[in-house]
Chain A
Amino acid sequence: MSLWYLYILLLCGNIAVGIIRRKHLGPALKVMLGIIITVLVTEVTKRQLKAPYIALVDHLYFIGELLLLLVYYHVLLARNKRKLLYAGLVFFLTAVFVLSLATPGYLWQNNYIDFVFLAVCVSVWSGCFFYELLQKPIQHSLKSDGNFWINCSNFLYYPGTVLLFGYSAYIEHVNPAFSHSLNIMSNMMNLVLYLLYLVAFAIARKQY
C-alpha cells in the first residue's frame, strides 16, 4: 500500500519538476512528460477497478506505452534508426495479435507475456540511443543529458522486470503468496525507474 503511494508521489514529483523545468527540456523529454502523465492516470484508474478489468487495463496500457515510447524514440533517435522503431512496432503488435489468438481471453488474464515483447523493443531502442550517444561530440555532457538518465532507467527497468512479468501468470498459478512477494520486487524496480526519471527532469539542460 505504502509503496503504491510512494510510487504515485514519485510520478507527481516527476510531473511537477517536468512542468517547472519545461523550458530546459528538449522535445523528447516533453514527450516523456506526457508518458508519465499517462502512467499516473492509468495507475489511478486501475486503483478504482476490480480484478479482471485491471488486467485488461494493463494489457491495453502496454500497447499504449509502446506507442508512446515509439513517439519518444522517434523524436530522440536519428532518422536512420527509425526503421528499427517501426520493426519493433510490427514485432510487438504481431506478437500480441498472435498471443490473443492463441490464448482465448488473453486480455482479461494476469498473463503479462506482452510485457516481455514490450521490454525487448524498449531495450533495443535504448541500445540504439546509447549507440548514438557514443557518436556525439565530446562536448556533449552525459550528466546534464536528461535522455541519458531516462534511457539508463529504461535499460535497467525493462530487462530487470522482464522475467517477473513473463513468469507472473505461472507463479500465481503455482504459488500465489510467492507471486505477491515478487510484486514488491517489481514495485521496487518501478520506484527506481521513476527516481531516475526524476533525476532526468531535474538536471536536464538543452544541449546543441
Chain B
Amino acid sequence: MPQQTNEILVTILGGTAILLFFALTLIFLIVLYRKKQREYYDQRLKLEEEFRQELLQAQLEAQESTFHSLSQELHDNIGQVLSLAKLNISLIAMNDQEPIREHVTQTKELLNTAINDLRDISKTLNTDYVKEKNLEESILRELDMLKRTRKFETDFETRGTAFTISPERRLILYRMIQECLNNTVKHAGATHVAIKMDYTDTALNISVRDNGNGFDMQQTGKGVGILNMEHRSKLIGCTLSITSTPGKGTQIGITVNSGDQ
C-alpha cells in the first residue's frame, strides 16, 4: 500500500507541477510578449520623433541658408548699387544750382534711409550676424526698425541676470520673436508692442505683447506663422503659449529652461 501511495503522490504532484509549470510559462510568455511589443512601439515612436526633428531641422537650416544668401545679395549687390547712386547724386549736387540741390539733398536722404533699412534687413537675415550678437541687441534692432516706421510705439524691458544661450538656440528664439512681430505688423492692427525678457534662476521668460485687435483662439485656426513658431519651439524644447482675446490684444510667451542650453 505505501508503494501505491507513493506512486499516486508522484503522479499527482508531478502532474500538477507540470501543469502549473505550463500555465506559469504561458503567462510569463504573454507578459514578455506584451513588454516586447511595448518596447518596439516606444522605439518606433522615438524614431519617428527623431525623424520629425531632423526633418524640421533640415527645413530650418534650408530656410536659414536662404536668408543668409538673401542677406549677402542685399548687402553686396543692391546695397552697393544704392551707395553708388548716392555717390553720383553727391557729385551732381556739388555742380548744380540751388533748387536742384534741394531735390538732390532730399533724394540723398531717401537713399540714406534705403541704405540703412537695407543694412538692417540684411543683418536680420544674416545667420552669422544674429548668432554673434546677444538676443537683447537683436530684439532691440527689430524694435528699432518697427519704431522707424512711425506706426508703432515699442517698449523693451529685461530683468534678472542673463545666462548663456547657445548661438543656435539664440537664432531660433530670435526667429520666433521675429515671427511674433511679423504677425503683429501684418494682422494685429496694433500701435504698441512691448517685449519683456525675464531671467530667473531656472528659465528665461520672454513675453511679446501688443495692443491690437486680438483674435478668438477657438475660432481662428493656426496660421503658418504660429505653426512655424510651434515647430521652432519644439526644436529647442521651449514652451510656447499664446493668449489672445478679441479687442484686447495678444500676448505670446516663450519659456526657455536654463538647463537646456
Given contacts A142-B31, A178-B5, whether A159 and B37 have CB atoms under 8 Å apart is no
Query: B22-30, B118-126, B189-197, B237-245: which lies at the A interface?
Result: B22-30
A130/B26 in contact, CB under 8 A: yes
In the complex, which residues of chain A have a beta carbon less than 8 angstroms from the beta carbon of B8? 167, 170-171, 174-175, 178
Please classify the interface of chain B as helix (H, G, I), strand (E, B), loop, or mixed, using the class held by over half of its residues.
Answer: helix
Interface residues as binary, A122-155 with B (CB distance below 8 Å gives 1, 0 otherwise): 0000000010011000100010000000001001
Q: Is A76 on the interface with B (CB-CB < 8 A)?
A: no
For the complex, is B4 an interface residue (Cβ under 8 Å from A)?
A: yes
Which of B13-21, B74-82, B140-148 lies at the binding interface?
Answer: B13-21
- Compute how far the CA of A198 lies from the CA of B15 in the bound complex, rounded to whole angstroms: 27
Cβ contact of B34, chosen from A142, A163, A178, cutoff 8 A: A142
- The interface residues of chain A, by DSSP majority, are classed as helix
| Contact digits for B220-247, partner A, Cβ 8 Å, 1 yes 0 no | 0000000000000000000000000000
Known A-B contacts A138-B38, A175-B5; the reply to A167 vs B12 at CB < 8 A is yes
Q: Mark A156-190, 1 if CB is under 8 A from B, else 0.
A: 10011111100100110011001000100100000
Question: Closest CB-CB distance, A127 to chain B, in whole Å?
Answer: 8
Roughly how many angstroms separate A181 CA and B104 CA in the complex, as a whole number?
118
CB <8 Å contact, B16 and A178: no
Residues in A neighbouring B4, C-beta threshold 8 A: 174-175
Q: Is B33 an interface residue (CB 8 A)?
A: yes
Contacting residues, chain B, for A142 (C-beta < 8 A)? 31, 34
Q: What residues of B have a CB within 8 angstroms of the CB of A162 in the complex?
A: 16, 19
Q: Which residues of A contact B (CB under 8 A)?
A: 130, 133-134, 138, 142, 152, 155-156, 159-164, 167, 170-171, 174-175, 178, 182, 185
B interface, CB within 8 angstroms of A: 1, 4-5, 8-9, 11-12, 15-16, 19-20, 22-24, 26-27, 30-31, 33-34, 37-38, 41
